[in-house]
Amino acid sequence: MKKGFVLKGFVLAGVLALGLISAAAPLARAQTSSNPQFLVTWRAVGSYIPPSYVGKALPGYGSKIAASVELVSQGRLIDLQNETIYWYLNDVLIGGGEGVQSVAFPPFGLPPNSLALRVELPNYVGGYLTHTIDIPYINPQVVLYAPFPNAQFSTNPVTVYAVPYFFNVSSTADLAYTWAVNGQTGGGAENPEEAQVTLPPGTPAGSNIDVSVTVENPIGSTIATANKNLTYESQL
């Protein structure tokens, strides 16, 4: 027996609002230390995360990365305004010059991958300095959310939500959603981020309901897919 379903939804709108770490105030150059420490920070620009997500936005196809560097010696920030600073991504020079402590750039290649960001101070008074960090570079993701313990449900209809991550969009309204239930693709949807599955009368307990979604950024041509298998427990 085919299980019919209709689609409706909600929009998770969010604006990426992350800032680079900055010094509280410029400090005079500290005494030369044999072990100055690098503080390299980065953030993804144009990588969507939902408002409830507490993690870091990760760069993906179409996004950019903004990075900055500070140098600490004996617990103080070192003044780098007159230092020559070079930036490299996977050994390719992407920027630099006197006092260039910040750089913004698009990732190279296709995700998933790891990007090696290197900063060099070739003329530092204490000797040549360099530091490298790895930045994850990933494909967009989508997570299906169905708030049922052990993926078992007894409500009818049942609602499943699609939550996208790391697409190069400012809002989930910019994405296209295609839903399927047990291989049956849904038609148009007023609110495409939510699938409401209605089971026919008499559906036996223990029936498996496979829900899948494909999310696409029509402009960036990036796609993410996810599926979730639910088990119907009939209402008492």
CATH number for the domain that contains residue 127? 2.60.40
User: Is residue 145 located within the same domain as residue 228?
Assistant: yes
Residue-level pLDDT at 18: 27
Q: Is residue 24 part of a domain?
A: no
Are residues 153 and 70 part of one domain? no
> Distance from CA of residue 196 to its chain's centroid?
26
Residue 189 lies inside a defined structural domain of this protein: yes
Give the 3-state DSSP-derived string for 191-202, with helices as H, strands as E and coil as C: CCCEEEECCCCC
Other Cβ atoms less than 10 A from the Cβ of 7: the count is 20
Q: Total structural domains in the chain?
A: 2
Q: What predicted TM-score, i.e. pTM, was given to this entire model?
A: 0.78
Give domain status of residue 25, yes or no.
no
Query: Phi-psi category of 220—alpha, beta or left, where left has phi over 0 and alpha has psi -120 to 50?
Result: alpha
Query: What's the DSSP call for residue 79?
Result: P
Question: Is there a domain that residue 26 lies in?
Answer: no
Do 166 and 200 belong to one domain? Answer: yes
170 is a domain residue: yes
Mark which of 137, 164, 199 sits at the end of a domain: 137
Domain final residue, candidates 137, 154, 176: 137
Strand order in the sheet with 184-185: 152-153, 222-232, 208-217, 176-181, 184-185
Q: 195 with 208: CB under 8 angstroms?
A: no
Can you say whether the dihedral through the CA atoms of 173, 176, 179, 184 is positive or negative?
Answer: positive
CA distances from 64 to 11, 12, 204 (A): 24, 22, 50
Can you give the CATH number for the domain in which 225 is found?
2.60.40.10
- From 137, 155, 184, the end of a domain falls on 137
Q: Residue 3's pLDDT band (boundaries 50, 70, 90)? A: very low
Residue 29 lies in a domain: no
pLDDT, tens digit (0-9, with 9 covering 90-100), for 51-94:
999 999 999 989 999 999 999 999 999 999 999 999 999 999 99
Mark whether 45 and 112 lie in a shared domain.
yes
Domain extent for 202: 5-13+140-232
